[in-house]
Chains A and B, each alone.
Chain A
């Protein structure tokens, strides 16, 4: 068997392992920030058990930008965090400590944070996004954000589900 044949099998595995490792690293090393969210319709009915929502940035997000343009949002220190500045990532103010990188699409800032998968047995209680829901994200220094968890009224989603009627 040729070496190239072994490489053909091994290299994809190594690339996938590295990709997964990067996501795990980003999720575990970034600064944890809470963001307020609200439900978003239409729900994706064909794609399993997850909630779709929009982040409520509470400040400037995507006004006056082109479709698909790279964009950054600088977050304040409140909880849940709110946008204090938004614009091209190249013009990001130096004093900004925590920012999220994404794109603007149809006036909405998209950082690929708008989906939360949950266990199947919760589907009866999670038909829509509950009120006072926040999403916890890990934000790296380069602005990449990864969803870590979802809370309702400061309770982790699992605890809220247990106490929900």
Chain B
């Protein structure tokens, strides 16, 4: 039963949300269907104790166990997890998701075990890339958010580490970064196109869209802002060629957004596509800044303005799509950026008493504006939708 259900039912009845009879019916239902949590708890403790004992026994004798036995034990366990996952596949619910996740994590443990037994060297990203390859068909069967989001985040992390650590004469540092930047954009495009032209599992599509868009918008705008802030070097222009590949992927993502299924409102499709293109333009323009304009105040102001514009476009897209958390995040980022402009201009004053009063006043003012207009703006956007 819920904690304090009786008190909650009383409060809901007094607020007129439920009637007296409904309150009594809910209380009776919860009483008869209450799960034996104490029994579950004791069983859980028992299972955990046995499992801990087995793990301790293995760990204490780990170095004495022959490699062959370790590998055989691992493969038997992994096969059992696989059989469990196959049995759970036709069902849905927490056990199905747990079986798929454990089966996938089992491969990571296996890679670690083989690496330990045969002292495999090499970078960590190789192990993660191999794990991603092995578990790609498994994640496409999963319906839960945890596995899907974790898998996509691991993919983006592995790509980022690969772009830093991998060395090959045919792949320059800039080309590797360019290829890694293409991945979230391509994922975003695939997520959008899959809504209309081909099928991807819903949870996987949501994960690639969430993290693809988050990478593009957060990493793209922050890096873009840094370029606006420090741009105007002579060296920057020679890297322009490396933007070609990410731009192709960006156009793919923007086209995918525009061509999303008819269930998505036209305004949302348009705003998302415009936001993506704006993000690309914002990132690219500093490459064309005149040399020796480094640190020029006009560039900094344009950079800050562009950041705020993209933030507002994101807020609009989030409101149209009714993604309240994204809306709050985007507007919070815009607010923080406005605050940063203040610090950039009047930073030296903040150590004085008057400066502190002004800074505190500005923060309070921004919070007040946000609180006042957040709700009405959301309603207005929902009306537009």
Contact = CB atoms under 8 A, between A and B. Distances in A.
Interface of A: 1, 5-13, 15-17, 19-20, 23-24, 27, 50, 66-69, 103, 105, 110, 112-117, 119, 121, 146-147
A74 to B, nearest CB: 21
B169 A67 contact: yes
A13 B82 contact: yes
Contact of A23 (B62, B103, B118, B130): B118
Contacts of B294: none
A118 to B, nearest CB: 8
What are the 7 closest A-B residue pairs judged by CB atoms, nearest first? A68-B167, A119-B63, A112-B121, A147-B119, A8-B137, A12-B134, A68-B168
B167 A12 contact: no
Contact of A8 (B78, B118, B140, B171): B140
A68 B71 contact: no
A7 B85 CA distance: 12
Contacts of B86: 1, 5-6, 9-10
Contacts of A7: 137
A8 B107 contact: no
A100 to B, nearest CB: 13
A50 B86 CA distance: 37
Given A8-B141, A10-B82, A12-B138, A27 B63 contact: no
Contacts of A121: 63
Contact of A11 (B62, B63, B130, B137): B137
B154 interface: no
B138 A15 contact: no
Interface residues of B, number: 35
Nearest to B166: A68
B376 interface: no
A7 B107 CA distance: 16
Contacts of A69: 169
Interface string B339-381: 0000000000000000000000000000000000000000000
B27 interface: no
A6 B119 CA distance: 33
Interface in B89-104: 89-90, 103
Given A5-B141, A9-B82, A12-B107, A146 B169 contact: no
B106 to A, nearest CB: 9
A9 B103 contact: yes
Given A15-B134, A115-B119, 16 more contacts: A5-B89, A10-B82, A12-B134, A12-B135, A13-B78, A16-B78, A16-B107, A23-B118, A68-B167, A116-B119, A117-B116, A117-B117, A121-B63, A146-B119, A147-B118, A147-B119
B305 interface: no
A162 to B, nearest CB: 13
A5 B201 CA distance: 13
A68 B166 CA distance: 8
Interface string B115-128: 11111111000000
A40 B51 CA distance: 38
Contacts of B222: none
19 contacts: A5-B89, A5-B141, A6-B89, A9-B85, A9-B138, A10-B82, A12-B137, A12-B138, A13-B78, A13-B79, A20-B110, A23-B118, A66-B169, A68-B168, A68-B169, A112-B120, A115-B119, A146-B119, A147-B118
B75 interface: yes
A73 B281 CA distance: 49
B245 interface: no
Contacts of A110: 121
A113 B121 contact: yes
A23 B115 CA distance: 10
A20 B135 contact: no
Contacts of A50: 119
A13 to B, nearest CB: 5
A146 B63 contact: no
A116 B78 CA distance: 25
Nearest to A104: B167
A67 B89 CA distance: 47
Contacts of A117: 115-117, 119
A132 B171 CA distance: 39
Nearest to B67: A24
A147 B115 CA distance: 10
Nearest to A113: B121
Nearest to B89: A5
B114 interface: yes
